[in-house]
Amino acid sequence: MKLEKIKAVLFDLDGTVYYGSKRIPGANETVAFFRENGKQVYFTTNNSTKTREQIYNNLRDMGVDCRPGGILNSGYLAALTAKKNNLEDVYIFGSPNLLEEFRKLGVNTCQEETAKNLLIGYDPEMTYEGLTKALQVALHAKCIIACNRERIFPGENARLMPGCGAMTAPIEWCANRECDYVIGKPNTLMIDLLSEMTGIARNEFLVVGDTYESDIAMANVAGARAVLISDVPRSDVPTVRAIGDIPELF
């Protein structure tokens, strides 16, 4: 892997930069390595429970060297997708912060079962009643958007937690239809948006993540370079055990 071929680096967050509320050793050193070599650095996550500003503040509180505007999450991209498609009366099945992302972009929302469209986001406080209301919307919705279909993600102390797929799958199953848009990784929307914003070609991005099915799959589809963080080496992608080992690849 040649450093001069890379112009921007996309770091995953959960399991790559931090576990829960704790920064992973070596994260800042690796971020600094790329910045010192003139690379643009971005942080990307499928997590839709927080706004980009909240994620930025959390990273700063953990001591992670991040910059304003350097955060992309599936909630923001979902709101952007709704706006681009002129969707109105969007029912938000997710966290209050996800609802805020839609309101910030001026997307009309409706928290009634008569809403015309449905957005499914990660909600750690999901209830059966909430799931039932989302189903009522799904049964007649013109469009259903899911932030992602991730099965699991690493939480505090690397404990595996149910991901947004735990919210998306039951609604798709019960409504007997699939989502019209699935926003987060492995969808390439994050790379596409950054490429459009910066003028950097997709093959000049490096994606760093701990999940092959989302992080590395996104890179592969986009034609970007990738590094997988895993205890199990793979023959098709450079693999390291921790984020702090990445500079050794160059």
Q: What is the mean pLDDT of each run of 10 residues along the chain (250 residues)?
A: 94 92 93 96 93 93 89 93 94 93 94 96 94 97 94 85 93 96 92 93 97 95 97 93 95
**Confidence at residue 21, expressed as pLDDT on a 0 to 100 scale:** 84
**Confidence at residue 138, expressed as pLDDT on a 0 to 100 scale:** 98
In degrees and rounded to multiples of 5, residue 177 shows phi and psi of: -155, 155
> Which residues make up the CATH 3.40.50.1000 domain(s) of the chain?
75-182
**Confidence at residue 158, expressed as pLDDT on a 0 to 100 scale:** 82
CATH for 75-182, options being 3.40.50.720, 3.40.50.1000, 3.20.20.140, 3.90.1150.10: 3.40.50.1000
| Alpha-carbon gap, residue 223 to 205, rounded angstroms | 9
List, in sequence order, the alpha helices (H) in 63-159: 74-84, 96-104, 128-138
List, in sequence order, the alpha helices (H) in 45-111: 52-62, 74-84, 96-104
**Confidence at residue 237, expressed as pLDDT on a 0 to 100 scale:** 96
**Confidence at residue 156, expressed as pLDDT on a 0 to 100 scale:** 83
